Chains A and B, each alone.
Chain A
């Protein structure tokens, strides 16, 4: 069934309730919205798109709806959400249609890493694909619309989706977005074009959508090889000119226009290199649309070599896919999925995912993504040889997550390499902490991991020297506020974060593992003494027991437990890995007592065992039990941790989780500073925020 067959009223009702599952190109979007304008926009621009089965599997579950605050009534706003996450600030109600389109683009650019994605208009003629990348204002959408109106098949107005495995371009046929003067240019160029209502006042000016021809939407499953890369540029008064671009330059310009070239790493380079090798690459300047189109017509008739293949009709998607996914689900309809246990089960026993139907998988992917554990889940699925048994649409998300985590690991390893080289000239031990240590020591906790920064620890006595050396070599501090500087240097366990000027990476230089203002004070000298060298050079990692204790201290003593499932999963990994080494378990509790970290270890062992089934020996549990808190703290902690650690259903947020999260946030501050210092700190922060807001208003 096509979306347009629903009719506006039914479409509006469905969008406002369970939503519709729309197939566009290779993606299925589950869209929900109470706004009639959204129904009208979909009815106009997506009428020919097939509808996938309701309640089934989608690549992206999105919602365009009023925010849950007073702005739903006063100067009404709306917000775009993906799985409960808002990538944009709330926007004025009249902009819901452009924001929905931008939101759909954001989903694709952010997550469809199975393709090399180039910001580009894409068209096809006689089985050959033309890719037209261009910055805003280059005129690519205008050219794209005009070429479609002259018989070129629309692939996309926004994205060249290149399949790395064979270099084919995959269509993503959606409405063409015309901006400002282009709207009238196209109306004059082809009065028969179906162009919708203008939407004014967007930050890109006025936008109107041109409906793609029905046949182009129906042929959205037909891929084709690329033959031309043309960089268009509208130049007022210029004659039509076309100039060859050297392939090396073309590759770099395409990479600059790509959403994920860097993310794809070597695969991105090889795919892009193959693309420019098989294409003619040109710059194209024009001012008169008729002349420009005539030139394209002529060029398309010439046998520009490159793509000799003809478009291959693939099974469009879709029906076959849905059918397969439905079949997988059918025998399992009687087995209820415990939504909040789903992710735990998969992490505890990855083989359990083999029993999941596509709908269960759909939820698992969303939960894993929200907790930054999708890469880890992918690694587990691959390790257990289960990847091939995963439904195709789901598998693409796992593979995309692997692309992202591989890139994160590459960046982390390079950062360790660069930092290690700079600090090698000093005679100072440098201990890698957390993710950097897991990666460089090749520990299981590095599997599929997402990294945000590199953490190192150096002796406090050498802190100034290390900081100077780093700054001399391109790092700079970006916490410039004098209060923050003082706060870090006096009370924290690290310097203010440093950022590398060229690479943009963040480095945290610690001198111990917990804030100096906090209640627990592990002796850093003992950590340095036991640290293990990574070979030649100054780099070390913490000893196994210390690594576990640091992770436990970070989660239960220094943090609010927001996003804590990932840290708990680290602890599970570390304990399973080191637990197999002789003497580890015997040394763990005495070491925790020696380092003043028995309480965090108590919590860590309690909760990894409870939630992830970590095989902690009973004798270790018994040994750490005296370090636990007194009644009623423990049952309260159990209740709070249980709420924040469990992954929610993204469409059904649990109110208790929010409250628990807030209470644990308060707890984390309580543990970080003595009450008087905390009161002073919070007052200072509040006053500064108030002062800054005042200044902003004056400037405005």
Chain B
């Protein structure tokens, strides 16, 4: 499913994630779905960032790139776009109601 770049994304509501960070891996438990997710650093940072405040894909890519000190180029933007799609399908985030 394609993600609208101008849409804002937020963590699900209500959001009561439980986090662990070990050895460069983020583990997050979502009490609403009962699912546990093992996230790589980019996905972990993106989700944590959205938990702090909603963002569109471009803004989110910028935030994550800056936090992990990696270049925020077009390829990275596409990567974050796909990531947002996956996080949405997993029920961790949702688009903000217009």
Identify the A interface with B (CB < 8 A). Answer: 246-249, 251-252, 255, 261-262, 265-266, 269-270, 273, 276-277, 407, 410-411, 413-414, 417-418, 421, 502
A246-B25, A273-B27, A414-B91 given; A252·B36 CB < 8 A = yes
A248-B20, A266-B29, A269-B29 given; A410·B34 CB < 8 A = yes
Give chain A nearest CB distance to B90 CB in angstroms.
9
Q: Is the CB of A247 within 8 A of B23?
A: yes
Contact flags B46-77 to A (C-beta < 8 A → 1, else 0): 00000000000000000000000000000000
Q: Is the CB of B22 within 8 A of A248?
A: yes
Selected A-B contacts with CB under 8 Å, 7 pairs: A246-B24, A248-B22, A248-B27, A252-B27, A266-B29, A273-B20, A276-B22
Identify the B interface with A (CB < 8 A). Answer: 18, 20, 22-27, 29, 31-34, 36, 38, 89, 91, 94
Give chain B nearest CB distance to A245 CB in angstroms.
9
Contacting residues, chain A, for B91 (C-beta < 8 A):
414, 418
Q: Is the CB of A262 within 8 A of B34?
A: yes
Q: State in angstroms the CA–CA spacing of A266 and B17 once bound together.
A: 10
Q: Is the CB of A248 within 8 A of B26?
A: yes
Give chain A nearest CB distance to B68 CB in angstroms.
17
8 additional A-B pairs beyond A246-B25, A252-B27, beta carbons within 8 Å, are A246-B23, A247-B25, A248-B27, A252-B38, A261-B36, A266-B18, A277-B22, A414-B32
Q: Is the CB of A413 within 8 A of B31?
A: no
CB closest residue in chain B, given A248: B25
Contacting residues, chain B, for A413 (C-beta < 8 A):
32
Give chain B nearest CB distance to A502 CB in angstroms.
8
Give chain A nearest CB distance to B20 CB in angstroms.
5
Give chain B nearest CB distance to A410 CB in angstroms.
5
Contacting residues, chain A, for B27 (C-beta < 8 A):
248, 251-252, 273
A269-B18, A273-B20 given; A414·B33 CB < 8 A = yes
Most A CB contacts (10 A, CB to CB) among B24, B29, B89 go to: B29
CB closest residue in chain B, given A273: B20
Contacting residues, chain B, for A414 (C-beta < 8 A):
32-34, 91
Give chain A nearest CB distance to B81 CB in angstroms.
20
Give chain B nearest CB distance to A259 CB in angstroms.
15
Give chain A nearest CB distance to B16 CB in angstroms.
9
A246-B24, A248-B26 given; A265·B36 CB < 8 A = no
CB closest residue in chain B, given A270: B18
Q: Is the CB of A421 within 8 A of B24?
A: no
Q: Is the CB of B33 within 8 A of A249?
A: no
Q: Is the CB of A248 within 8 A of B32?
A: no
The 4 tightest CB contacts between A and B, nearest first, are A248-B25, A247-B22, A246-B23, A269-B29
Contacting residues, chain B, for A251 (C-beta < 8 A):
20, 27, 36, 38
Q: State in angstroms the CA–CA spacing of A414 and B38 once bound together.
A: 20
Contacting residues, chain B, for A418 (C-beta < 8 A):
91
A247-B23, A248-B23, A410-B31 given; A421·B94 CB < 8 A = yes
CB closest residue in chain B, given A472: B1
CB closest residue in chain A, given B25: A248
CB closest residue in chain B, given A410: B34
CB closest residue in chain A, given B13: A417
Q: Is the CB of A265 within 8 A of B34?
A: yes
Q: State in angstroms the CA–CA spacing of A697 and B36 once bound together.
A: 44
Contacting residues, chain B, for A407 (C-beta < 8 A):
34
Contacting residues, chain A, for B26 (C-beta < 8 A):
248
Give chain B nearest CB distance to A528 CB in angstroms.
25
Contacting residues, chain A, for B94 (C-beta < 8 A):
421
Q: State in angstroms the CA–CA spacing of A269 and B27 once bound together.
A: 10
A414-B91, A417-B32, A421-B94 given; A248·B38 CB < 8 A = yes
Contacting residues, chain B, for A252 (C-beta < 8 A):
27, 36, 38
Contacting residues, chain B, for A502 (C-beta < 8 A):
89
Give chain A nearest CB distance to B86 CB in angstroms.
12
CB closest residue in chain A, given B1: A473
Give chain A nearest CB distance to B37 CB in angstroms.
9
Give chain A nearest CB distance to B49 CB in angstroms.
19
CB closest residue in chain B, given A276: B22
CB closest residue in chain A, given B94: A421
Q: State in angstroms the CA–CA spacing of A251 and B20 once bound together.
A: 11
CB closest residue in chain B, given A424: B97
Q: State in angstroms the CA–CA spacing of A415 and B69 once bound together.
A: 38
Q: State in angstroms the CA–CA spacing of A246 and B38 once bound together.
A: 11
Give chain A nearest CB distance to B33 CB in angstroms.
5
Q: State in angstroms the CA–CA spacing of A409 and B92 once bound together.
A: 19
Contacting residues, chain A, for B31 (C-beta < 8 A):
265-266, 410
Give chain A nearest CB distance to B1 CB in angstroms.
9
Contacting residues, chain A, for B24 (C-beta < 8 A):
246
Contacting residues, chain A, for B89 (C-beta < 8 A):
502
Contacting residues, chain B, for A276 (C-beta < 8 A):
22
Q: State in angstroms the CA–CA spacing of A418 and B33 once bound together.
A: 10
Most A CB contacts (10 A, CB to CB) among B26, B29, B34, B94 go to: B34
Q: State in angstroms the CA–CA spacing of A414 and B29 once bound together.
A: 14
Q: State in angstroms the CA–CA spacing of A268 and B39 once bound together.
A: 19
Give chain A nearest CB distance to B2 CB in angstroms.
14
Contacting residues, chain A, for B20 (C-beta < 8 A):
247-248, 251, 273
Q: Is the CB of A249 within 8 A of B34?
A: no
Q: Is the CB of B38 within 8 A of A249?
A: yes
Q: State in angstroms the CA–CA spacing of A475 and B92 once bound together.
A: 19
Q: State in angstroms the CA–CA spacing of A413 and B89 once bound together.
A: 17
Contacting residues, chain A, for B29 (C-beta < 8 A):
266, 269
Give chain A nearest CB distance to B29 CB in angstroms.
4
Give chain A nearest CB distance to B45 CB in angstroms.
15
Q: State in angstroms the CA–CA spacing of A518 and B70 once bound together.
A: 66
Q: State in angstroms the CA–CA spacing of A266 and B38 once bound together.
A: 15
Q: State in angstroms the CA–CA spacing of A276 and B20 once bound together.
A: 11
Q: State in angstroms the CA–CA spacing of A248 and B25 once bound together.
A: 6
Q: State in angstroms the CA–CA spacing of A421 and B34 once bound together.
A: 18
Q: State in angstroms the CA–CA spacing of A418 and B35 once bound together.
A: 14
Q: State in angstroms the CA–CA spacing of A251 and B27 once bound together.
A: 9
Give chain B nearest CB distance to A126 CB in angstroms.
26
Q: State in angstroms the CA–CA spacing of A246 and B23 once bound together.
A: 6
Q: State in angstroms the CA–CA spacing of A65 and B33 once bound together.
A: 42
Q: State in angstroms the CA–CA spacing of A255 and B20 once bound together.
A: 15
Q: State in angstroms the CA–CA spacing of A664 and B20 once bound together.
A: 54
CB closest residue in chain A, given B37: A252
Contacting residues, chain B, for A270 (C-beta < 8 A):
18
Give chain B nearest CB distance to A106 CB in angstroms.
23
Q: Is the CB of B34 within 8 A of A411?
A: yes
Give chain B nearest CB distance to A421 CB in angstroms.
7
Q: State in angstroms the CA–CA spacing of A277 and B29 once bound together.
A: 16
Q: State in angstroms the CA–CA spacing of A411 and B31 once bound together.
A: 10
Q: State in angstroms the CA–CA spacing of A262 and B31 once bound together.
A: 10
Q: State in angstroms the CA–CA spacing of A276 and B27 once bound together.
A: 12
Q: State in angstroms the CA–CA spacing of A251 and B36 once bound together.
A: 10
Give chain A nearest CB distance to B19 CB in angstroms.
10
Give chain A nearest CB distance to B14 CB in angstroms.
10
Contacting residues, chain B, for A410 (C-beta < 8 A):
31-32, 34
Q: State in angstroms the CA–CA spacing of A82 and B38 once bound together.
A: 38
Q: State in angstroms the CA–CA spacing of A417 and B23 once bound together.
A: 34
Give chain A nearest CB distance to B3 CB in angstroms.
15
Give chain B nearest CB distance to A422 CB in angstroms.
12
Give chain B nearest CB distance to A195 CB in angstroms.
39
